[in-house]
Structure 1
């Protein structure tokens, strides 16, 4: 990585603390170095007049330790749950509610059913190849599942080369016994994912015998395929590495994410194992350093490593913990923007990368990886325990804005009305790039939201506007994933990773209202602005309520919202019903910038991202676009209404506009 890509955290450590520094960053490798997305500049020496700002202003800035039946769980201060725990009025209430809910579940079973990746707990029983083969359906069925996988999951080109896989696939059917156990595990991950996609296409509102029978059959297939994956990995001694190990583990993690409605520590641990194997196999070093690797193998290694880095950051943010891969540990270059038909295992010299205007299947992964590179710096910055000058926050903010502006036009979000000719998959890709951008704004400015400084007004503005922006996307996705709407068939992409961004936005707005109402009322922006937040949270409450039966996270945020919004008579979250209590607030609220990509953030600080004073860790909702497990209800409005709403952030009389 170039000198301009120096790790800002390491530079500041050299200036602030008299501790040994890591290796010279001038020679340290860096991950993904596109010219359009420069890394943060080195921090200025503290010989200037500006002093470091201590952003820790409350106990919540140390994160949150939550006691459970299995011990204690820690989440960093940027995690949504830590934000809620930082609200004094809510903490005891939420703790009591959670305890009551746990008690209502009855005593623990002697042998509780194991959830999460079975690989971590040991396979229920070892299986030989013959037993594994017995679970593979007829070829006609497998063909359809493989086709569904490659045509539905945009992560597929980042993990598998379709042309090469089809050669291996034909070889499998010609001689199944010659196939390695790990490759069989890879096939089971593909079938498991594809079956989940098929299951999500069923209409949850139709309960006919035929549909129910199909749903049971598909779920049985998912369960069988899911069981076989770890059995194949164990049979193939996956811990030693080798061909197809990383690909199988990555898709296995994706399948587990789709099956979970909340963040699961087991998935993060499995991701850690995958990172360790990738390091052991040298994926963190660019293939150009090693002789004997073909151009094809080198390019696929770059694709796989880029995806592992993205998955690591996404899952770590979801768990509220530091990421495992640091940018100065790797020099693997960015993959090329190429169609799978542009190169294969016989390629002697790789063709030049296509332009970013060429929407190949891999382009979305490349654009997301570039944005995630900048977000990774921000994540490390937010997790750093040391203090920094506020100018460093502004520099990081500028870099994030530059990264967003570098997104090609073909992947930029404008409005739902302007996307009606796009495929549902492409629409979701655009939305996800937007949400991870706004989440990053939150993480960057969160600590500076309520500082007694002139700069805190800028951070507070960015945080609040970004939170409202994220909830705009939540509301839009809720309506567009209803039956007969444009994103109905893609609703499985609204996964626990995506929902984590909305949890962050919801928690931050709750935290702001608590401060504005009592702790620091002088920081309230305006009555009309606070009312806008209330209306947005009310709509969000109704969305979370629908999934509260299947999601512990949704259940917790519903309880918090019930307190913040004053819903004394709100139905229990356990009922999963809709609230009939009317707030008396405006029935509509002006959207922020959901419908206009080109609108700039006020104040010239770039994008608008929600942030909290002390308890949130961002999650870039980015690597896997998963499945929302909550049943859908009839939409309350047509999608055109979202596009026709007045842009509230531009039309409201913001307090800072007069400054």
Structure 2
């Protein structure tokens, strides 16, 4: 009998014994006396400490190693083994994720692993057709669960059939305007505005002359603009949902048909730009992470390298200054996709730094250069917000994240000195962010555009991501008794980053509501950002479950109560959100949160580690204080209302921290019944959006 079948059909008694064995092994692995190797050479703290000047950290933390004896070393490997990640074996799938993935962190909580394993067995037994994670949302049923480019779509009979799918020019004009004004993340990265305008006018004069891949680029712009449409909540209904879904799927199909008809593997003009937009579309239309996007990323990366984007254009005289500068912008976008998508899939990045030398783009507006430019003008000051400034800022953070990824994904673990060196690289990158994109309080951002505010939050989001990637492994490490605690910095950095990540989630949850400062940018809250919110959630759950960091109990518990309300509202559209909400509720119930949603925490229960209560391996829904399947508790159409931005200040990132339980508004899930608007900002297929 196959191993996967045996695992799925194992009787509960055997399953419980396996969980007990896992607890025993994990207890031995977490023995602090086996967690550190010590040498005889001292590395001064000043050589490995983090750089100052970052606006993204929280309160200052003592540097690791400060005051340690001369016999202590931090430049030896932490242990002799790397993290092996998590391997899931089922009848239909073999899936590996690295140790930094939220699912791997969740599996380290034995009680919750057992609970969700049993849930998965029941789900597969009752609904085998749901192997691809279809969450049952009515709007998602017509949509294929797979990427069209990988699994195929209907082949067009002719070029004229593709062109016939275009909306009228007046509608396309509005879509293109929305694309350049709202989708700065992709518009400035892959399309030079003035050049595109010339091509666009020529296309309407003679559509049959345009390269078919350029037509695919146009469909990509239309599709993204449709998904970023900003319609009143009142227009969201079932008919609008179906219409918007069909529209987006039609345009998505046309992008793929154009790529195939244009033989995209030949790497011709506009191919990479069209592919980047297509991959982004596939991300936006799904609430949860999809493995297909990682395979699409591999195609995108290989296309870019085959076309030489990884080498700086200055090496090739045949490339014009305009083409060279746009190639630098496009390559920065490919780097971002590689690091963020690979991390979301729990995999190492595909692009190594030693393979590429493409320079950073200049701080220029699109109007500063054209096809006749013979030499690029000098860059504008970084105090001036240009078309390229967001690309420059993201690239600097991405270069640091790439260095972090190389260290944390290595099979051979790095020394703690190397960890702290890369931590300094991350802080240097944060300090180098141009002034217009440095973090500032939301209340001080009322004159800034939603795009600028979102860019700031995203950069802060990447900083916290790097902190968690670097320091999560040291969360439970302790020095031997009587010695200086060398890992205090890493523990505090990881906890602060997790709290900061969830507070970015909170700000987005508030400000993307109708009337919020980021309402027009709500489509940007994608599964990629939610992945980091999931990691922050799982780390804080793990801390409470193990009974660690009791001195920060109230802060952690308040953050988990807030994120639980957010995940619960999204659970009807996202399997990941449902699992996160259930996980938080289990942990809060176990540590004394109580069944009442708004009940104040009475304090952490002692001895709540994995082996404290062997009988606790079976978890039932009554323990959660919630039922994720009751639509009267979690209706699909539930509004959050609008919260004034001055009532909430993010810790460290935006100022001092006001715990949610001390704020004037309530986070009781049942209290949201007062709203009548639709809270859809995390729903990726954006039901009900039609062209205006």
Contact 2:544–2:591, Cα closer than 8 Å, also in 1: no
Aligned CA distance change for structure 1 residues 563 and 357 (closer, same or farther; 3 Å)? same
Contact 1:567–1:581, Cα closer than 8 Å, also in 2: no
Give, in whole Å, the separation in 2 of the partners of 1:506 and 1:292: 50
Secondary structure of the corresponding residue to residue 565 of structure 1: helix
Of the three residues 105, 122, 144, the one matched with 2:152 is 122
Match of 1:86 in 2: 108
Aligned residues: 541
Secondary structure of the corresponding residue to residue 74 of structure 1: strand
Of the three residues 560, 570, 575, the one matched with 1:537 is 560
- Stretch of structure 1 that moved more, 439-448 or 117-126: 117-126
Deviations 1:49-81 (A, max 9, x none): 655223578x9x311112345311111001111
Cα shift at 1:259: 0.5
Match of 1:202 in 2: 231
Give, in whole Å, the separation in 2 of the partners of 1:427 and 1:547: 23
1:153 aligns with 2:183: yes
1:173 aligns with 2:198: no
Match of 1:525 in 2: 549
1:54 aligns with 2:78: yes
Secondary structure of the corresponding residue to residue 649 of structure 2: helix
Aligned 1:117-266 pairs, distance under 5 A: 117-154=147-184, 155-198=186-229, 201-204=230-233, 206=234, 213-266=239-292
Give, in whole Å, the separation in 2 of the partners of 1:355 and 1:119: 41
Give, in whole Å, the separation in 2 of the partners of 1:229 and 1:504: 33
Contact 1:116–1:267, Cα closer than 8 Å, also in 2: no
Secondary structure of the corresponding residue to residue 337 of structure 1: coil
Cα shift at 1:486: 1.6
Contact 1:445–1:460, Cα closer than 8 Å, also in 2: yes
Give, in whole Å, the separation in 2 of the partners of 1:644 and 1:53: 35
Structure 1's unaligned 5+ residue stretches are 1-35, 37-47, 517-523, 572-578, 588-628, 651-659
Secondary structure of the corresponding residue to residue 414 of structure 1: coil
1:582 aligns with 2:595: no
Match of 1:467 in 2: 498
Give, in whole Å, the separation in 1 of the partners of 2:304 and 2:598: 53
1:388 aligns with 2:414: yes
Contact 2:472–2:494, Cα closer than 8 Å, also in 1: yes
Contact 1:548–1:554, Cα closer than 8 Å, also in 2: yes
Cα shift at 1:649: 9.5
- The TM-score normalised by the length of structure 2 is 0.74
Deviations 1:569-620 (A, max 9, x none): 999xxxxxxx963332399xxxxxxxxxxxxxxxxxxxxxxxxxxxxxxxxx
Contact 1:465–1:649, Cα closer than 8 Å, also in 2: no
Aligned 1:333-412 pairs, distance under 5 A: 333-412=359-438
Deviations 1:610-647 (A, max 9, x none): xxxxxxxxxxxxxxxxxxx9866224843221039983
Cα shift at 1:223: 1.5
Give, in whole Å, the separation in 1 of the partners of 2:88 and 2:191: 39
Deviations 1:415-450 (A, max 9, x none): 111111111121111111111101100001111222
Cα shift at 1:100: 2.8
1:498 aligns with 2:529: yes
Match of 2:576 in 1: 553
Deviations 1:119-155 (A, max 9, x none): 1012223442011011011111111111111111112
1:487 aligns with 2:518: yes
Contact 1:449–1:459, Cα closer than 8 Å, also in 2: yes
1:634 aligns with 2:640: yes
Secondary structure of the corresponding residue to residue 558 of structure 1: helix
Aligned CA distance change for structure 1 residues 247 and 207 (closer, same or farther; 3 Å)? closer
Give, in whole Å, the separation in 2 of the partners of 1:253 and 1:630: 27
Contact 1:262–1:551, Cα closer than 8 Å, also in 2: yes
Deviations 1:294-320 (A, max 9, x none): 111111111111111111111011111
Secondary structure of the corresponding residue to residue 160 of structure 2: helix
Give, in whole Å, the separation in 2 of the partners of 1:534 and 1:410: 34
Please tell me the root mean square deviation across aligned C-alpha atoms, in Å.
Answer: 2.9
Give, in whole Å, the separation in 1 of the partners of 2:324 and 2:73: 48
Give, in whole Å, the separation in 1 of the partners of 2:168 and 2:235: 28
Aligned CA distance change for structure 1 residues 436 and 487 (closer, same or farther; 3 Å)? same
Deviations 1:98-120 (A, max 9, x none): 33344444656999973232010
Aligned CA distance change for structure 1 residues 402 and 630 (closer, same or farther; 3 Å)? farther
Give, in whole Å, the separation in 1 of the partners of 2:351 and 2:267: 19
